[in-house]
Amino acid sequence: MGKIIAGKTSDISPGKMIKFSIDGRDILVANIDGEYFATDDSCTHSGSSLSEGKLDGCVITCGWHAAEFDCKNGKFLKFPMKLRDVTSYKVVVESENVFVEL
Ligand code: FES
């Protein structure tokens, strides 16, 4: 699909994550010390919006039942049962624009 603009770097403070709707998909973009990472926003457990959970370092904790995922690569980290990883996407920053490659 290509490179789609998600927003401006100023939209996402360090240590924060934000949901962007890009081309009908909800994508979470996180800023970890000035590096940006993107994953699907939907938790692979029951579909909660991960961006409404917590971000601690690069660990996203789902706000519903506390499943954990790595925002750098979408890998499942922790939950009482094994969950699928969330899809991760490459992020490119040009000037002050944050692009996600879908
Ligand atoms: S919906 Fe995310 S842990 Fe249940």
Residue by residue, pLDDT tens for the chain (102 residues) are 689 999 999 999 999 999 999 878 999 999 999 999 999 999 999 999 999 999 999 999 999 999 999 999 999 999 999 999 999 999 999 999 999 998
Give the 3-state secondary structure percentages of the chain, helix then strand then coil, rounded to 5: 5, 50, 45
Could you confirm whether domain 3-101 is CATH 1.10.260.40?
Answer: no
pTM of the model: 0.95
Distance of alpha carbon 74 from alpha carbon 7, whole angstroms: 20
Distance 13 CA to ligand 1 centre (A): 25
Q: In whole angstroms, give the CA distance from residue 10 to residue 24.
A: 23
Pocket residue to mutate for ligand 1, from 39, 64, 82, most atoms within 8 A of Cβ: 64
Spell out which residues line ligand 1, taking CB within 6 angstroms.
43, 45-46, 48, 62, 64-65, 67
Nearest to residue 50, comparing CAs of 81, 35, 33, 29? 29
As a whole number of angstroms, the distance between CA 91 and CA 95 comes to 13
